[in-house]
Amino acid sequence: MKTFRSDITRALNDLQEGDDKAADVLFPMLYDELRNMAGNYMRYESKGHTLQPTSLVHEAYVKLIGQDDVDWKGRTHFLAVSAQAMRRILVDHARTKRRKKRGGDVKKVNVDDVEFKLLDPEVDDHVIAIDDALIQLEKVDPLQAKIVEMRFFTGMTVQEVADALGYSKRKIEAEWTMIKAWLRKNIRLEEQ
């Protein structure tokens, strides 16, 4: 495993130094993880969504390898930036779709369900509402925003988030409780 991770780091360094072939080496090494991440993102999307996990992976990957100004710090950093890229692609898609059917008032949403199951995956506005709230939350508490992103968009459990961020499960559970209260006040959806 250590050799595999060092191969990824080496490929990221080569990519950063302008080696175009490094992208071809890196993609197969990370594809399964990126595909799983995309699958988690897509489980909240409508069944008729025009993007599929594979196309989401490819679109995000193309955006990422074209970045000249990113100082890749390794596999975890690349995957975290990949998650953000996927989120941006899905939100942009939802915003475009919403513009086509614009209209309605804004209403508050009950966010008591810890897993956000109340947010209907058939409604693009729900993805946009979470994203809008995340942008606000990032300004207030970047850690909490990262937790929401990991829980909602990638479907990670509290334990997985704790492991990924290097915190105890108890700390993430406490943060999650505060996050839910904050979201209860700040998530708004347009009337359907």
Question: Where do the domains of the chain lie, and which CATH numbers do they carry?
Answer: 1-78 (no CATH), 103-192 (1.10.10)
CB neighbours of 129 closer than 8 A, spacing ≥ 6? 109, 119, 187, 188, 189
Q: What are phi and psi of 102, to 5 degrees?
A: -55, 150
| Mean pLDDT (whole number) for 20-46 | 82
**How confident is residue 16, by pLDDT bands cut at 50, 70 and 90?**
confident
pLDDT at 135 > cutoff 80: yes
Least reliable range by pLDDT among 7-21, 71-85, 112-126: 112-126
Percent of the chain scoring above 90 in pLDDT: 7
Q: Side chain identity at 33, as an amino acid letter?
A: E
d(CA 18, CA 20): 6
Please give the average per-residue pLDDT across 29-47, as a whole number.
79
User: Residue 123: its pLDDT value, please?
Assistant: 52
> How confident is the model over 137-159, as a mean pLDDT?
83
The whole-model pTM stands at 0.59
